[in-house]
Structure 1
Amino acid sequence: MMTNALIPQTLSDLLAQERGLGPVRHMDDLQARLQRRSAIARQIQQWEEALRLVQKQSRMLTPLPPLKVIHWARAVQAMPNLVFLEVDTTGLHEDAEIVRLVVLNLREETLLDCLVTPTQQLSRQMVTITGITNVEIKAKGVPVAQALAQLRRVIHGAYVLSYNLEFDVSKLRESVHRHHLDEITIIGEDLMERAMSYLHLSSYPKLEGLCQQLGQPLPPQPHQTALDRARGQIAVLNAIADVAFASPASSALQATDPDHEVADDRSL
């Protein structure tokens, strides 16, 4: 209930005066009361307009990061089995092939970095996006079944964070089905969705943009690799846990062109 202390003094005085009067005694008394009631209405209107302005200013305040997301990040940081996954592919299409699998732990130690031999060479665009050359794949690439077996061993019993986990899981699922292999079980969460919640974003933020905002920019393409992006994921998680982002939603973070979201989901 609103107390008198919150009401402007002049309005409070007029209200008190009106409340203290008995029945109307004559015309002059009525006219005086009507004038006071009109003054009360005007002051209430002014007060309401001022309140609306304050409410508008309040709504325009910079959003604060949700405590729920910060607590989540700190809890995940403390998990001894936490790993970060990056999956590079030949594209976004359903028959796109995996060309690199990378898994790091929170200390940025490489648990897996495996080039995979696709059935066709990488296009010039994909060489730029993935930072992988066809020469490297020819020299170091392994069959996809071997690569997936290594991934299966590395993430067994692990809690997996990935930037757009849905994309990575779908590409892994397509690959095991295509080659008639056992399913790969991934238990974890999507770091991109958590970053969206933290920054109050309505569309997918670029990992590259988040890292730039943190002052830890990823190398420019074609020198940016899955290893760099995995380290970028670690930086984002640590920034959420430490409340280290300088400001929330920025248009520079939005991934507006899906044609550029290749090879490694929406992180480019």
Structure 2
Amino acid sequence: MGLLSICRPERRNALNLRVKRAIVEHLQRLGADAAVRAVVITGSDGYFVAGTDIAEMEHMSPTDHVLGATDEVFHVIRRSSKPVIAAVEGYALGGGCELALACDIVIAAEDARFGQPEIRVGIMPGAGGTQHLLRAAGRYKTLLWSLTGDMIPAREAYLANLVSELVPKGEALTRAMAIAEQIAGMPPLAVQSIRDAVRWGGDAPLESALAIERRLFERLFDSRDQKEGMRAFLEKRAPAYQGR
């Protein structure tokens, strides 16, 4: 398992370009490590990520955003070959909310707060906020939250399908690591295929999505892990998966 902790306490872990680039570098390194089968992203000092650094962003031009690839970190998470789990304590606002929603699984403490408050500083979400909210919570909740900039309590976020599981305060990381460990024990090719089916199929028409799922299912029958998993089941022993 890999653990990536964002530590910028003086700014409540707000994302600036340096932090974003560091996250990208670490995610790429963890993605290339065959021994790492799941990644957990968390914050520090009671915060996940309180937003993007407004002081840095205030004077940026459209060209600065393009040249600085300010949204690259979110694409890297979505394209990751390993499951990425967000462990959220405290605030996950603006870019922090988008960072969490780019992950595959979101574990949140009961006192966590989500939100897209960009409208309150004259802009809008620009790294997936409106689109992830729309696909999870629907049009009306998305517009309510994005147009008011109000914070979303963790339980409301859970009921709106933005959060996978709620845990008591202070236990998000422990639970996320336990889930990562459980996933790490699963056959890697099947894990990746399930993620691909959900991500590719989520925006496709049903018949196309079913075809995607079926092809991924059939391909797994060429894997050693499929043979090992079924043989171990029949022999009543623990499987030894190799990711092949």
Q: What band does the TM-score fall into relative to the shorter chain?
A: under 0.3
TM-score scaled to structure 2, two decimals?
Answer: 0.25
Larger Rg: 1
TM-score scaled to structure 1, two decimals?
Answer: 0.23
Higher relative contact order (CA 8 A, sep 6+): 1
